[in-house]
Structure 1
Amino acid sequence: MSLTGCRIPRRWLVLAVAFGGVFLELGTMKSFGLFINDMTRDLQTTTAILGLAFGLSNGFSSILAIANIPLMKIFSARQLIIVGAVVASLGLMFSALSNSGEHFVWTMGIAGIGLSIVVFPAHTTATLDYFPDNFEKAVSVILTGGGLGMMLLPLLVEQLHEEYGWRGAMVILGALNLNYIVVGALMKPVKLQNQEGSRTTRATESKTAQEGYLEVTQVIGHDSNAVKESVNLQIPKVETSECNTLSGRRLLQAENEIKIVSDMDTVEHVLANELVYPRKSSIDQSPKEEGTTKSFPQEISRSATRFSVCSSIKNLFDVRLFAENPSFMFPFFFEFLFGITYTCWIIYVIPNAVAKGYTTAEGAFLATAGGAANIVGRLMIGFISSRDFVPVEMLSCILSLTAATAFFCNSFASSFWSLVVLAFMNGFASGAKIVMGSLLAKKSLPLEIVSNGMCYQFFSLGVGNPVGGALMGLLYDRTETFILAFKVAALVELISAVLILFPILIRWCNSKSR
């Protein structure tokens, strides 16, 4: 029987492989907690060093996500994911050869660098390009893979650990992560239909837009009509039907940027015009100081160069979105605080059980319970938020309070089943908050720059990960218990719960002033 009539649409395949990629990423990270005791003994290092290494492996994948803003203007998501998969896998495999804590930190850092160009391109391409009509639900489904990975993969890795030791298990984990290559292979660039009916890939049009933008910014001071002609030649026009795709939004953003740059009446560009092309009379009439070896035109040239470099960096990484959308600062810092507590829960839930007198197998069961709740949280929150019953900021506040309660109650929980309940609570809250990072970016930013906002959310989460890993490990080394560490995590969650309510307060004040 022929299967040609039963072909699955590509976007569903993309959804499936993106789900699998997140499964591997977080399942691998969750499994690291199984190795901590053996690693501290074999590598003769501290828990804080190992916490830093594990935090870097996950943190770099998010911190360096900011590099994807310029990279995705040059390379396709497919190219980035495949290269990153190879680098990440090699980093995990080489970690098995470590003979000290410092070597282990370096190898895990390499793995994190590879993941940095895997996780973000896969996430944004699968959601914004393939599911622009069901963004919230697609984010929930894809990120549910992380919860499933945290629940199932540690059970497999525990068996590998008993059979081959932590070094052999790390090699096998590195081999498993080569499956990211399959994820990248299916990330075919979405094609756009232009006015003449020809089709070009997103990577090509995005690169053309960026080149046109850079060319215009370099000719500031020329006749504005010439600038506009250059814009018309370089930037493809965006159809209304294309604005629902990430590609169309990026081209629309480039057109808007060019309109701003070509406006020669603004003070900034007039000053730039004077710096780059100074009037001859102003140079001739300027007095020269005795003993001065640097001429006035040279100083102007250097000032213009500094101005150009700063402008290029700002445009390259789209830093202006913070100035144009100041309310985005609250979700940005909320994500940083979540990164601190997220690492605390995901890495130290098994060692916390061992510190309370339970076996690693029982600790793995706690991780499984938390992973199951993580799946429920990731899957439910997208569907709930898509109904607009409650503002996403209020949902985030409730989730932070739930996590704070679980962290605080750990200090006096002693029975195994009470730890299971707390793991379930924290797992649910953490899973839902992972999805909320993307939803908060979409809520705070215009549609055409949501992808860049998501990138900064990844970055903020990544900065918090190694901070949380090192801080909680340091507190454990000082006290030999996780009680104080989890209380600190509860305090951080309380602060984030208050912080994320400010956008709602600002919107309420603005509505009253009108």
Structure 2
Amino acid sequence: MAQERKKKAGVLPPDGGWGWMIVAGCFVVTVCTRAVTRCISIFFVEFQVHFARDYSGTAWIHSLVDCMTMLCAPLGSLIGNHLSCRVAVILGGFLASIGLVLSSFATSLEYLYLTLGVLTGLGFALCYTPAIAMVGVYFCERKSLAYGIAMSGSGIGTFILAPVVQMLIEHYSWRGALLILGGLVSNLCVCGALLRPITLKEEEACPLPVDSECGYSTKPLVAVGPANEKHLVASRQQRNSKQRCLQSMQEYHFLLMPDFLVLAGSFLFLASGCSLPFVYLVPYALDVGVSHHHAAFLMSILGVIDIVGNITFGWLTDRRFLKKYRSICYMVSVGMEGLCCFFIPLLHTFELLVPFSVLYGYFDGAYVALIPVVTSDVVGTTYLSSALGVVYFLHAIPYLVSPPIGGWLVDTTGTYTATFFLSGFALISSALLLCTVTVIRHCQRIQRNRQSNKTTLEQCEAQQADFYTTKNKDLLIVNTATS
């Protein structure tokens, strides 16, 4: 009994210990979800040739995977909050693996929309949000570094998987490659077993608020006789249902925070532009005459530099001199990524595309590591899991719509220029929205400080005037008495 009480008691974030196993589990989750999703773009040309479809039709596969991963993110948070993160990740790993295996038997693009897009995307959604939220529970002081390492899985996975997937396609065709990826993704079930839950003191010290208007009390009910047994059961059921309602309302209380609403708007612009380069970089490279191996290697460069961005930005923003400016670091990384997109149409050789992959990959890794950190700074650890579910949900519609729109622009204009310009504009708009609000609030803060200082000065002057008036009166009284 004593041991059970000890386990249930709230603790401070360990900032180490088993937390590093949580980081390792989240790392593998990001490899098996985000890296695999990025590598789907390598199948892009294979699907086009095999099913004889245009860019916009084929792009729906990638957009559906991304959309389902983000659209069902609140479902992953819900299962993680009410059951456990272990259950959510194990179930998601099973669904994602089944979806990839079934995709290897595809006979049409519509079949791939269902298996690779919907089923695999749903499995990724159940894994992604709970795993990321668990890192925020186990870390506080070294949160940015922990997230940097955990989120670097997408970069390392892309670096390794991009050439491996290309090799698998050449040796076993795209069907065999999808089958092998299904086996790889099944390791998500193992990662789920690592996610051991803990209760923080912050959560323990934040009990469910009791509202007298809701009609229930925390006092125990006492049965006075057998006749009241049914009434007792009904009262308990009513109390439990109202308590669950209050818990659900409390979980999403952060939606009323103005800071979170601004951050959500920024994420909408971000999601509209960030996926396009990953979808169209390989097709663009092939279109300008780069070989298949070199085009796949560009994705590998993106992946490995993504790792550097994850870890270095995570480490830097944990330093004292930058800890207060995490949101500014996030704005800079997103804005620089948008600027990179404007220069892609000028790059027509592999040697020129390599610097783009380096810069874009670095800033992509930087902002990806900062998304959960900035969200945690706004809503706190208690609401982090639910907030991340909403944050990734906001990515869903842009992820669904932007790749087909990019493909339509390619089909209409015959070039990739408009597609990459759309990506750059969306990313810069995301950074400018946060920047504008930050500048406005900074100006308001300065104005409030000036008014406060002015008021304080006026009060001091008034006090001094009262002091001198009182002193003069006292002197007058003394002089009168002396006379």
Pairwise TM-score range, normalised by the shorter structure: 0.7 to 0.9
The one-letter amino acid of 1:420's match is V
Tell me if the contact between 2:130 and 2:385 (Cα under 8 Å) persists in the aligned partners: no
Equivalent in the alignment of 1:28: 36
User: Does 2:384 correspond to 1:375?
Assistant: no
Tell me if the contact between 1:151 and 1:367 (Cα under 8 Å) persists in the aligned partners: yes
Equivalent in the alignment of 2:286: 354
| Residues 189-247 of structure 1: CA deviation (Å, up to 9, x unaligned) | 22xxxxxxxxxxx5xxxxxxxxxxxxxxxxxxxxxxxxxxxxxxxxxxxxxxx42xxxx
User: Does 2:119 correspond to 1:110?
Assistant: yes
Equivalent in the alignment of 1:75: 83
Equivalent in the alignment of 1:97: 105
The one-letter amino acid of 1:332's match is A
User: Does 2:176 correspond to 1:168?
Assistant: yes
| Residues 424-449 of structure 1: CA deviation (Å, up to 9, x unaligned) | 11111111111121122122224422
Equivalent in the alignment of 1:440: 374
Change (3 A) 1:466 1:388: farther
Change (3 A) 1:131 1:314: closer
Q: CA deviation at 1:314?
A: 9.5
User: Does 2:448 correspond to 1:513?
Assistant: yes
SS at match of 1:386: coil
Equivalent in the alignment of 1:180: 188
Equivalent in the alignment of 1:65: 73
Change (3 A) 1:164 1:317: farther
Change (3 A) 1:447 1:27: closer
In structure 2, distance between residues paired with 1:357 and 1:153: 23
Q: CA deviation at 1:17?
A: 2.4
Tell me if the contact between 1:84 and 1:115 (Cα under 8 Å) persists in the aligned partners: yes
User: Does 2:89 correspond to 1:87?
Assistant: no
In structure 2, distance between residues paired with 1:388 and 1:100: 54
Equivalent in the alignment of 1:333: 265
Consecutive unaligned residues in structure 1, runs of 5 or more: 1-7, 191-201, 203-241, 271-307
- Please point out which of 444, 450, 453 is paired with 2:384: 450
In structure 2, distance between residues paired with 1:339 and 1:366: 22
Tell me if the contact between 1:81 and 1:117 (Cα under 8 Å) persists in the aligned partners: yes
Equivalent in the alignment of 2:432: 498
Change (3 A) 1:326 1:342: same
The one-letter amino acid of 1:406's match is C
Change (3 A) 1:91 1:403: same
In structure 1, distance between residues paired with 2:64 and 2:183: 20
- State how 1:107-186 maps to structure 2 within 5 Å: 107=115, 108-125=117-134, 127-186=135-194
Which 4+ residue blocks in structure 1 deviate beyond 4 angstroms? Answer: 311-314
What TM-score do you get using the length of structure 2 for normalisation? 0.78
Change (3 A) 1:394 1:12: closer
- State how 1:415-494 maps to structure 2 within 5 Å: 415-494=349-428
Q: CA deviation at 1:40?
A: 1.3
Change (3 A) 1:397 1:174: same
In structure 2, distance between residues paired with 1:64 and 1:11: 26
In structure 1, distance between residues paired with 2:40 and 2:80: 31
In structure 2, distance between residues paired with 1:16 and 1:319: 28
Equivalent in the alignment of 1:384: 316
Q: CA deviation at 1:73?
A: 3.1
Equivalent in the alignment of 2:58: 50
Q: CA deviation at 1:511?
A: 4.9
SS at match of 1:93: helix
Change (3 A) 1:69 1:160: closer
Change (3 A) 1:447 1:314: closer
| Residues 308-367 of structure 1: CA deviation (Å, up to 9, x unaligned) | 99x9499358443221x1111122122222222221122221111011111111111111
In structure 1, distance between residues paired with 2:287 and 2:377: 41
The one-letter amino acid of 1:24's match is C
Change (3 A) 1:117 1:504: same
The one-letter amino acid of 2:131's match is A
In structure 2, distance between residues paired with 1:184 and 1:450: 19
Change (3 A) 1:74 1:401: closer
- Please point out which of 248, 254, 258 is paired with 1:321: 254
Q: CA deviation at 1:454?
A: 2.2
In structure 2, distance between residues paired with 1:436 and 1:336: 16
In structure 2, distance between residues paired with 1:474 and 1:481: 11
| Residues 120-177 of structure 1: CA deviation (Å, up to 9, x unaligned) | 111111x123223421111111001111111111111111000011111111111110
Equivalent in the alignment of 2:209: 258
RMSD: 2.5
Tell me if the contact between 2:148 and 2:312 (Cα under 8 Å) persists in the aligned partners: yes
SS at match of 1:189: coil
Q: CA deviation at 1:503?
A: 4.1
The one-letter amino acid of 1:131's match is F
The one-letter amino acid of 2:109's match is G
